[in-house]
Amino acid sequence: MINESQCTATAESVVKKYADMVYRLAFAQVRSKSDADDIFQEVFLRYVQSKPVFENEEHRKAWLLRVTINCSKKYWSSIWRRKAAPLEDSYSFELPEENGVNEAMRKLAPKYRSVIHLFYYEDYSVAEISRILGIRESTVRTQLTRARARLSKMLKGDL
């Protein structure tokens, strides 16, 4: 049974509850603060404009994750991004290992960053990632394996 209060949450409460999750995923995808900000705004603008109705909170969360990934894909395929010279955001990390992981994640293809982020940072299972991304579970497992191997190879070069 659908809980009415869960399905009709205000936009403000949804932003407060899911802001960190959406921003983390956007940043994991584009590895740029300014571009992650743009994607964050686009995701919640779409939420407010479309006024979707959800079966439950998990459905809302999955919708926000899917829209964030779609907006990130749109970013990577835009002509503007291909013709613009990147401005590097500079972040100081407490540990050099974190900086190496950040750089390695930046070098991964977006499809690998998506599965790594959803699996390790959002704690989704392979089956849940499969549903969110709309791909087969075997594809998720393959992408996780390949992403781990690439990260391992890149990080071993730093050690």
Q: What is the CATH number of the domain that holds 116?
A: 1.10.10.10
Contact 90, 79 (CB under 8 A): no
Residues 21 and 83 in one domain: yes
Q: How many domains in the chain?
A: 2
Ordered alpha helix ranges (H), 54-136: 57-77, 79-83, 96-107, 110-116, 126-133
How buried is residue 101: exposed, middle or buried, by Cβ count under 10 Å (0-12/13-18/19+)?
middle
Following DSSP, what letter does each residue of 132-156 receive, concatenated? HHTS-HHHHHHHHHHHHHHHHHHHH
Per-residue pLDDT of the chain (159 residues; tens, 9 = 90+): 344 444 457 889 999 999 999 999 999 888 788 889 999 999 999 999 998 889 999 999 999 999 999 998 888 776 565 555 555 554 444 444 456 777 788 888 888 988 998 898 888 999 999 998 889 999 999 999 999 999 888 888 654
Q: What is the pTM of this model?
A: 0.65
The one-letter amino acid code at 31 reads: R
The one-letter amino acid code at 140 reads: V
Residues 112 and 63 in one domain: no
CA-nearest of 100, 17, 103 to 57 is 17
Report how far residue 135's alpha carbon sits from residue 38's, in angstroms, rounded to the nearest whole number: 26
Residues 17 and 29 in one domain: yes
| 52 contacts: CB under 8 Å, gap ≥ 6 | 60, 63
Domain that holds residue 128: 94-159
Q: How many other CB atoms are found less than 10 A from the CB of residue 92?
A: 6
